A and B are shown apart, each in its own frame.
Chain A
């Protein structure tokens, strides 16, 4: 019964991703992140704005995460709740803190790699390859395996592939990261639109007066 409860919990939690809004908003956040990296690279270290933007990476990440969440909650309240119902999830503090630690570790590794610019064989841009691998790993463990949503395995594979392609592109760190995040964002938005379309078809708006 414990296993059944865990499966049920997974099923209920996966409700959050049934509408594709998570991918669409996440995709837009990725595209903005891609623009950020490209702009930082374009401005260079020597300009004051470039330096400020580079130093504010963590703030940009936190700001985009906050903005993305606010937009998604607003869209869900307006378009999803009337169609599929409202659910407030239980906060598993242990799981939440381990996720935060994982996300912080990921951000720290990427930031450290950027700052240190570890010398690696020059055939590949390792920063992008590692980013693609780490994002893919996060997609597999935080979404695909934990919630049993299979399409996230595909996103993880695409992330790995885009990371390798970005690494082979021959661009400098900033542009390669910009291309990786931009392309990954486009993949998320396109996939989200597909899921959203199916969600709208499967969940018609109830008549006014019916439960929502």
Chain B
């Protein structure tokens, strides 16, 4: 692979191996989590329902989220792994992680209010595809993934990508 010229003020590593590692971690996580839920929407539907965030008068919304969210995760993860539309995929992941983490925190606080006890003793299946987890392990993990999203979001000359910028014009022959 030929070396690419470095822009002043930008380190090559951030657009190279560091970005690649972040893509693998983020993309792999999202593909795995999405695949775990996409095959059968019913378990995920039950978990989303437990959050109580979707009005009962809108069953189609709850059902639609259960059916589509796993595939959104899959698509974002796959695109990031393949190096297609990096910023868009990362932005999508940021949005998902913010919403998921907020919902997990909300539910943890509800459980804390109902049952009491130490916050870090609270555990439940958040619907992320990784089963029952302690809140104090899940939230920091999500924060780490959010931090990793920074690399593909700010990448200017990402390496090892099929088409990092979907909107960029193809180079002239």
The answer to whether A and B belong to the same complex is no
